[in-house]
Chain A
Amino acid sequence: MLLTLFLTFAKIGLFTFGGGYAMISLIENECVNRNRWITHDEMMNITVIAESTPGPVAINCATFVGYRQKGIPGAVAATVGVTLPSFVIIYLISMFLDSFLEIAWIANAFRGVRIAVGLLIVDVGVKMLLKMKKKLLPCAIMAASFAVMLLINFTALKFSSISLMLAAAAVSLAVFLLRGAPDPKGGEKP
């Protein structure tokens, strides 16, 4: 069973490109449809939990499914399984990347790629923005965080993004305590 968990998640880790959210459909296919380890509802639950907990979404899902099947050993087997393929691949790449980048046309390719990365991140941000609840508090926190983060990036202002997140959490909690009425469910529509 532990070996099956490990191998299944290694397969998931090896065949998903584009990070955690791209993995969810493959995890659903393997764990719900094929192996019947969890139900479809549980899968939906994991997605919600993964969104509210820190860390890679794929790790959250693997730990959840592994723990459900076999407790802590299962969680370890699934988590190591989903991590190992990318660890090996990136470790190999890291040994060659520097010498690769010395080749002129590859360096040129990466000058183009850097521009694409900025666009991709803006795109993800805009998508998340559109999914946010259009209420005063979340919108104000979003706008303030955006402005402060830009200031941090373009001026000598020393302030980490983690302190910014803690400040946002504190503001939200303070407003909740003062108002007494809940401003529920955070930023996103179900």
Chain B
Amino acid sequence: MIYWDLLVGFLKVGCFSFGGAYGAIPLIRDVVLAYGWLSEETLTDMIAVSESTPGPIMVNLATYVGSSQAGIIGALIATLAVILPAFFIIVLVMAVLKTALKNKYVQAVMGGLKPCVVGIILATGCTMALNHGILPAFRETGDFRPLILTAALALVYFGSRKVFKKGLTPIGLIVLSACAGIAVYGIQ
């Protein structure tokens, strides 16, 4: 039953996504690929759309996945599932467990979770960069355009920080990469 799967899948995401939206992306990727709801390409496209539209990225992704699988009801279920754990935990912390987060055992658990999340985010980023940017050049078809795009975008994105104080924003990079995609893939 799709509604039940959406509920369970996104409750898991809501319960375990530490470290903001980017901490949730690996979990959402796990769930979405495991159920076969979206392809890796569509998911990546949606991450870009979520980054470029207002609101919490996690909510945007949940709404999209829910809607694409089961219409408005699916969207409502997935969105509620992803926000309910956060909602209840904050209410709980404020109402009853005011010192819970300072508890030494909780601290010890957090001390393991935080570096683990960093490792998972890095690995997911590397996987996506490899799959979309680097590996296509080494497959049989040997498409080198993604590799060149990756190098150019990385140079501009990280280089812009050296030249300008704030550098290129994430949305700036997405817009730039879209233009580069049109230019590179449009010219045959």
Residues of B within 8 A of A108 (CB): 181-182, 184-186
- Give the residue of A53, A59, A154 whose beta carbon is less than 8 angstroms from that of B93: A53
Across the interface, A119 reaches (CB within 8 A) one of B34, B58, B153, B171, namely B153
With A116-B48, A173-B108 as given contacts, are A59 and B87 in contact (CB-CB < 8 Å)? yes
Complex interface residues of chain B between 74 and 126 (CB less than 8 A to chain A): 75, 79, 82-83, 85-87, 89-91, 93-95, 101, 104-105, 107-126
Contact A153 B127 (CB under 8 A): yes
The answer to whether B107 touches A184 (Cβ under 8 A) is: yes
**B157 and A119 form a contact (CB under 8 A):** yes
B179 part of interface (Cβ distance < 8 Å)? yes
Q: State which residues 85-121 of A face B: CB under 8 Å.
A: 85-87, 89-91, 93-95, 97, 101, 104-105, 108-121
- Which of chain B's residues have a CB closer than 8 A to the CB of A162? 12, 16, 27, 30
Rounded to whole Å, the gap between the CB of B169 and the closest CB of chain A is 7
Whether B53 lies near A128 (C-beta < 8 A) is: no
Number of interchain pairs (Cβ within 8 Å): 389
The answer to whether A172 and B108 touch across the interface, beta carbons within 8 angstroms, is yes
A6 contacts the other chain (CB 8 A): no
CB-based contact A89/B44 at 8 Å: no
**A132-B20 in contact given A54-B15, A113-B48, A118-B132 (Cβ < 8 Å):** no
Contact, CB under 8 Å: B125 / A165:
no
**Which residue of A has the minimal Cβ distance to B111?**
A186
Q: Please tell me the number of chain B residues within 8 Å of chain A, measured between CB atoms.
A: 104
Residues of A within 8 A of B6 (CB): none
Q: Flag if A82 contacts B104 (CB, 8 Å).
A: no
Is A3's CB within 8 Å of the partner chain B? Answer: no
Known contacts A19-B51, A55-B89, A141-B119; A87/B173 CB under 8 A: no
Contacts of A170 in B (CB 8 A): 112
If A90-B60, A146-B122, A161-B26 touch, does A14 touch B14 (CB 8 Å cutoff)? no
Q: A115 touching B90 by the CB < 8 A rule?
A: no
Q: Is the CB of A141 within 8 A of B112?
A: yes
Report Cα–Cα, A187/B6, bound state, in Å.
32
- Which residues does chain A contribute within 8 Å of B169, judged by CB atoms? 18
B3 at the interface (CB under 8 A from A): no
Q: Is A44 on the interface with B (CB-CB < 8 A)?
A: no
B108 to A182, Cβ gap below 8 A? yes
User: What residue in chain A is nearest B68 (Cβ atoms)?
Assistant: A94
A168 near B101 with CB under 8 A, answer: no
Shortest beta-carbon distance from A56 to chain B in Å:
4
Q: What distance in Å separates the Cβ of A119 from its nearest Cβ neighbour in chain B?
A: 6
Q: Give CA–CA (A137, B179) in the complex, Å.
A: 43
A59–B133 CB distance below 8 A: no
Q: Which residues of A141-185 are within 8 A (CB) of B?
A: 141-147, 149-150, 153-154, 160-162, 164-165, 168-173, 175-177, 182-185
A79 surroundings in chain B (CB, below 8 A)? 83, 87
Residues of chain A within 8 A (CB-CB) of B149 are 112, 115
* Known A19-B22, A19-B50; 9 more pairs at CB < 8 Å: A20-B56, A59-B90, A86-B60, A91-B67, A94-B63, A150-B126, A153-B127, A171-B112, A182-B107
Offer 27 A-B interface pairs, CB within 8 angstroms, sorted by A.
A15-B54, A16-B55, A20-B21, A49-B93, A49-B101, A55-B17, A55-B58, A56-B24, A56-B56, A56-B59, A86-B53, A91-B72, A112-B149, A113-B44, A117-B174, A118-B150, A119-B154, A120-B125, A123-B125, A125-B125, A145-B115, A146-B123, A149-B127, A169-B116, A172-B108, A172-B113, A183-B108
